[in-house]
Structure 1
């Protein structure tokens, strides 16, 4: 788990999800709630970012009257919008790319229901070269990159460092969200890649 955080807290609007966003990873979002439509509008207009935090079981992505969401995960990822359009069902679709990781110090809800977090950016360790068994995972990433859905995301898959490879694969593979979150929480790049490898070994057994 991470203890490398800046002492300075800043405010960041939050988008809780049942899935995890990784640095350098991309994901598509379908937006229909007013609080998030306003968030996307403000983010595009002001060229700002927001935070995506994992919402563990027990919380709800859709706000219901009189219902408060469960505790949010402590580690999240900055999200920047790279593309947007209207989906076939009339909803707003956006593609976001993961930026910096952060630790969530506190969160509160605005009247609209939007979460605002007091966050501290995590100081990242330098990425490192791939370990010997990393080439197998690198081949897997290239195979995933041939899928039309992945190609539409426009994610950079030309990576040859341990942390970046772990982030891209963890973003694209259908990992249990709890496992993905644990991988996100690891600071050391090779340890993050090893953790991903262990999860994949466990899923294949």
Structure 2
């Protein structure tokens, strides 16, 4: 059942999906404060895709135009980077619909959102096993290994969402796939994408 609440938003030019992980470099004061508050209170924040505009606030510029849906995320790791900035790793939990947004006095964007239930754990159908094989091959890549993913290969939604997160796709396409509610539609779209990328037939 969907739940309506207000959460802080982190507008990004990249799309985060449930089960996906993403590293972020934090340098703006409003986001340093956000990270501190989230870690102190063990809460998350919303990652909203920027349809149009800039990630970094520019004085005198209009605030970015955000997508109609995004992903609620939690911080799963953090470290001080070599350049002295704070680095965090976030993991997506569940999708939300953005009903309206506003800017707080701290310049942090706040969103009134409708949080969806976490994606259900559905079994991987036999005809989808090719997606599992592709994801397993990606997981062996050193860059992906460093993410520390814990993939449940029996969970079809996690397999699909993690693949979408890792594949080199246009962010607008990832955003569109995040908006789909039907798992079979997502898997069909993934098969088409993989066919185009590889020139091979990934359908069972």
TM-score where L is the length of structure 2 = 0.90
Superposed CA offset, 1:63-121 (max 9, x none): 01111223211111111001000111111100011101111100001123211000011
1:79 lines up with 2:52 in the alignment: no
Query: Where has structure 1 moved over 6 Å in runs of 4 or more?
Result: none
Superposed CA offset, 1:166-199 (max 9, x none): 1010111111001101111111222212222223
Residue 140 (structure 1) aligned to one of 134, 143, 146: 134
Residue 4 (structure 2) aligned to one of 3, 9, 29: 9
SS of the counterpart of 2:146?
A: helix
Query: Match for residue 38 of structure 1?
Result: 33
SS of the counterpart of 2:149?
A: coil
Give the superposition deviation at 1:204.
4.6
Taking the aligned partners of 2:183 and 2:61, their CA distance within structure 1 comes to 38
Match runs of 1:94-105 below 5 Å: 94-105=88-99
* Kept in 1: contact 2:152–2:158 (CA 8 A): no
1:149 lines up with 2:143 in the alignment: yes
SS of the counterpart of 1:116?
A: strand
TM-score where L is the length of structure 1 = 0.90
Query: Match for residue 183 of structure 1?
Result: 177
Taking the aligned partners of 2:29 and 2:155, their CA distance within structure 1 comes to 40
Taking the aligned partners of 2:157 and 2:170, their CA distance within structure 1 comes to 19
Distance change >3 Å, CA 190–CA 43, structure 1 → 2? same
Give the superposition deviation at 1:43.
0.7
Superposed CA offset, 1:18-75 (max 9, x none): 111111111111111111111101111111110001112x310010111122321111
Query: Match for residue 54 of structure 1?
Result: 49
Taking the aligned partners of 1:67 and 1:112, their CA distance within structure 2 comes to 17
Unaligned runs of 5+ in 2: 200-204
Query: Match for residue 202 of structure 2?
Result: none
